Amino acid sequence: MTYHFTALVTLLAILFYFFTSVSVARARATYGIQAPAISGNPEFERIFRVQMNTLEFLPVFLPSLWLFAVYIGDGIAAALGALWIIGRIVYYVGYTRAAEKRGPGFGIQALAAIALWVGALGAVGWRLMH
């Protein structure tokens, strides 16, 4: 069995994380926040939190994505993974504008991550029992 779509989504998720890292570097220069400082300007802090929140979710998302793909299917896993990325983008756009605008994107990506995790858990459990 091949997992081309899941592999592509994995690469896109990593690309998005790289994009958030570059955004933080640019924001440091724009707002004069020297490393290792992570506070001092609200605009910088929101961009930094997008990067950190993305990093915090990657250990939940990536294993769940791959276990879902292996136990359920490549296409469905990739579709949910793409939804996760869309949620992260919506989160980025909202949060960088105002902290109170981060909710919809967070909700989209959280639901996608939960669906992947629950699906993988259910499929693994099913296989163990049968």
Q: What is the pTM of this model?
A: 0.96
Q: Which residue range(s) make up the domain with 72? A: 4-129
pLDDT for the residue 2: 96
The series of mean pLDDT values per 10 residues for the chain, 130 residues long, is: 97 98 98 96 98 98 98 98 98 98 98 98 98
**Rounded distance between C-alpha atoms, residue 130 and residue 112, angstroms:** 27
Determine the pLDDT at residue 1. 87
- At residue 62, the pLDDT reads 98
DSSP 55-106: HHHHHHHHHHHHHHHHHT-HHHHHHHHHHHHHHHHHHHHHHHH-GGG-HHHH
What pLDDT, on the 0 to 100 scale, is given for residue 40? Answer: 94
Report the CATH number at residue 123: 1.20.120.550
| Structural domain count of the chain | 1
